[in-house]
A and B are shown apart, each in its own frame.
Chain A
Amino acid sequence: MLLEDKNLWQAALGEIELAISKANFITWFRGTRLIRKGNGSVTIHVPNTFAKEWLEKKYHKFIIRALRNLSQEIKEVEYTLNPVEAAIAASPAQTSKTFKQFTELPKIEDDQLEIKDIIVDKETGLNPKYTLENFIVGASNELAYAAALSVIKNPGATYNPLFIYGGVGLGKTHLLQAVGNALVARPERIKVKYLSSEKFTNDVIGAIQNQGMEKLNDQYRRIDVLIIDDIQFLAGKERTQEVFFHTFNALYERNKQIILSSDRAPRAIPTLEERLRSRFEGGMIADIGYPDFETRLGILKAKLKERGVAINQEVQEYVASVIQRNIRELEGALNRLLASCRISGNANPSVQEAKVILEHFLAVPKKMISVKHVLKSVADFYDLNERDLMNRSRRKEVVKPRQICMYLIREELSGSYPFIGERLGGRDHTTVIHGYEKIQREMERDETLAEEIRLIKERLYL
């Protein structure tokens, strides 16, 4: 129904455009929209009072005539300033007075806390904005979601620990927080604690320095559900892992639920103590993959609804089809599009216009990476020294990463085999060929490897 109305106004504008100068048309008709039609009367929304006066007093005749030419039953036209929320189903977000209003402003820097962060509950570390309801489920995350539901139903019983892993910006934190929020909302008082492994590490360090270890252990063992985000950061931190190991046991033995998230599967976290790895693998492991088109579209719709804004279906589909990586990017593109609309006053861009607006967004120039970046990223990922990659060592732990370097330099930088050989410790180009092809083959067989390489690439381009 709305589409018809929109077309009606577009057609009328087309006629009006021919009758007046371009400057006048742009000045007075930009941002106008037909928001109601019925019983022979039509209501046009105008962006400011000056336009209202002008259209009413100077262009009314043109407008009525143009509309009547298209639809004879129209007898009167009204102009209103009232925001277009009238046309778009008034979303609770607009009328709500709570802090949901403070949704993401483009963060200047990640470290600067925003006022909305205050609504994070200090005790639990949970932010009420993450719920199961606004977590969009699709093929890429339905396993993780189902596992989460199960945990909520029976914490500590079925899937313990629950280990969720996946790439950047795919919703791990959202899901973890949503589980926490759902548990906290239960009538029986369940003590939930959510924190990042970084915070856990800091707590441990603090406790060591202040002789507060006993107090820390006590504190962590009193909770019913422990949720730790980004557990991969424990890699290489022996003391912290040890404390975590004991905490884990203390909770697990009393059937207390533990939920963890990571950017990769337990077996792919280097320098993770074996005993921790086996405990993680002893529970339920679920991965969250990249959302498919349907899921992305669903997420887009949900975010639009949350903000009480609407853009037409084609543009939504376009954005969902073209932003394929992660959900944060989707949100970023959405913000960009909406901001552009607000500034230009055109609240209903066409697909063509959206393409232009997002052009800069999409064609983010591939960050200039060099061999040095590749070496560093791979070394960091496997917790090695860059030198190890270049020396003569044939230790298994070093050979594979080295071969991965060869693969990446070849793939991403199109380095020649001799060049790569030289940069990786004066090796022969045939060694490089072998390494490259080996990785290529293995990637097809071994999903973990493919996953690792994907993660490394992600970091390269961040």
Chain B
Amino acid sequence: MKFICLKENLREGLSIAERIIDKNPSLPILEHLLLKTEKGQLVITATNLEIGIQHRISGKIEEEGVITSPARTFSQFINLSLQEKITLESTSYNLTIRDKKTETTLKSLDPEEYPIFPSFTPEESFVVKNKDLTEALESVIIALAGSELRPELAGVFISLKDSGVICAATDSFRLAEKKIPQGKSQQKEASFIVPSRTIQEVIRIGRIKPHEEVEILFNKNQITFNFPSTILTSRLISGSFPDYQQIIPQNPKTELLVAKKDFLHILQLASIVAGKLREVHFLYDGGDALTLKSRNPELGEHRSHLEIKKKGGEGIALNFNVNYLLDVLPLLRGDEVKLAFHGEARPGMFTSPLDPNYLYIVMPLKT
């Protein structure tokens, strides 16, 4: 194989592909990238057996062929290269990386041993703009369960409805949902759960060309994201995501509008002396200010008042985990935050008045 390309294209492709490679895979060849010329381009493949990435870069093919190369070492050299063009040339089990001033030869493995990139028969497909997808995913992954104990909660739930695409995630203490409205009414309804690791990669790749579109194909077990130059395929999480619509609270007893900047600031202050449970007490008596208190028996206590821009409803006295709130505030659009409370032991809802498609609910701590 002999292939010449711009270093920058190669570098970008490598950085996309190598991220999913396991640090200590069970099979040494999994640490390698597969490099293959195909239809006028070089296809770089990487996999950890759960996720697979294929990225295509353009260049000049002087000789077709296929070779593998250890991902990390390969990319280290490419990252450090100061030249504009790179030539990749392979001989039986070696890959030579050549630029104007340097030449490196890395040992390869038998490309026949490289896992076969799975093809699958999709049942459904849909298209979204990268920007919309990454924004939606970023705004819901904050609510993900870190633990694998309940696998159906260890991923983002994506459902396709007439109105559009809905992404949701929860760790059973808080839940985030974001809708991506689609203009025309789509295919029939479907839903699936994407593992969190895959979501992270989708976000990274989606950020590269935000104004392009991605085609998403899926069946019961597998999903593929077709980005302009990259294909990402991953398993789906089997199991049913809980029917969370039931728990989205309606008819708030109290609705308050506050300035986001001030709210964030006050929460940050309160979090310093929040106790082990990270609890911050929200006290509202129907007046013009919301009082936040936090206390740590060893350090001390803190209290502050947050001016309310628009008030309404009953008084509240509730405790929330401050980290859950700090997680969401930076993601809410605009300068204001709407807080909605529904009574004791019922969730609080935090939204932006500018974005009716996003909601974040948090269960309180026992008072």
Contacts and interface: CB of A to CB of B under 8 A. Distances in A.
Contacts of A109: 276-277, 365
Interface stretch (A19-27, A35-43, A360-368, A411-419): A19-27
A54 B347 CA distance: 48
B40 interface: no
Contact of B30 (A27, A114, A338): A27
Interface in A88-116: 94-99, 101-103, 105-106, 108-116
Contacts of B50: 48
A114 B172 contact: yes
Interface string B242-271: 111011000000000000000000000000
A81 B222 contact: yes
A52 interface: yes
Nearest to B364: A113
B277 A49 contact: no
* Residue of A50, A109, A335 with most chain B CB atoms under a 10 A cut-off: A50
B242 A99 contact: yes
A57 interface: yes
A103 B242 CA distance: 10
B102 interface: no
A362 B20 CA distance: 36
A115 B277 contact: no
B235 interface: yes
A454 interface: no
A101 B157 CA distance: 14
B116 interface: yes
Nearest to B246: A99
A82 interface: yes
Given A50-B47, A82-B221, A117-B363, A97 B242 contact: yes
Nearest to B343: A122
B132 interface: no
Given A105-B171, A112-B363, A99 B243 contact: yes
B173 interface: yes
Contact of A118 (B27, B118, B240, B346): B346
Nearest to B221: A81
Contacts of B363: 112-115, 117-118
Contacts of B346: 118
B148 interface: yes
Contacts of B49: 27, 48, 50-51
Contact of B347 (A23, A48, A115, A343): A115
A102 B221 CA distance: 22
B277 A112 contact: yes
A146 interface: no
A224 to B, nearest CB: 24
A387 interface: no
B116 A27 contact: no
A105 B115 contact: no
A458 interface: no
Contacts of B152: 101
A49 B242 contact: no
Contacts of B118: 49-50, 52-53
A49 B366 contact: no
Interface in A115-146: 115-120, 122
A202 to B, nearest CB: 9
Interface string A179-203: 0000000000000000000000000
A27 B22 CA distance: 12
B52 interface: yes
A396 B172 CA distance: 51
Contacts of A111: 277, 279, 319, 365-366
B276 A101 contact: no
Residue with the highest number of chain A CB atoms closer than 10 Å, among B148, B220, B242 = B242
A342 interface: yes
A94 B240 contact: yes
A49 B172 contact: no
Nearest to B320: A112
A212 interface: no
Contacts of B150: 103, 105
Interface string B227-251: 0000001010011111110110000
B240 A82 contact: no
Nearest to A335: B149
Contacts of B343: 122
A7 to B, nearest CB: 25
A114 B345 CA distance: 10
Given A48-B235, A53-B118, A81-B221, A339 B347 contact: no
Contacts of B238: 83, 85
A37 to B, nearest CB: 22
A115 B116 contact: no
Interface in B324-347: 343, 345-347
Contacts of B235: 48-49, 81
Nearest to A103: B150
Interface in A337-352: 338-339, 342-343
A128 to B, nearest CB: 12
B240 A97 contact: yes
Contacts of B171: 105
Interface string B137-172: 000000001011111110000000000000000111
A24 B366 CA distance: 51
Contacts of B47: 50
Contact of B116 (A54, A112, A343): A54
Contacts of A106: 147, 149
Contacts of A343: 148
Contacts of B25: 27
Contacts of A110: 366
Given A98-B243, A109-B365, A113-B366, 7 more contacts: A48-B235, A49-B118, A49-B221, A50-B115, A54-B116, A111-B277, A113-B363
6 closest A-B pairs by CB: A49-B118, A83-B238, A101-B242, A53-B116, A97-B243, A27-B27
18 contacts: A23-B27, A26-B27, A50-B116, A52-B118, A53-B117, A54-B115, A95-B240, A99-B243, A101-B243, A106-B147, A109-B365, A111-B279, A111-B366, A115-B244, A115-B247, A118-B247, A118-B345, A122-B345
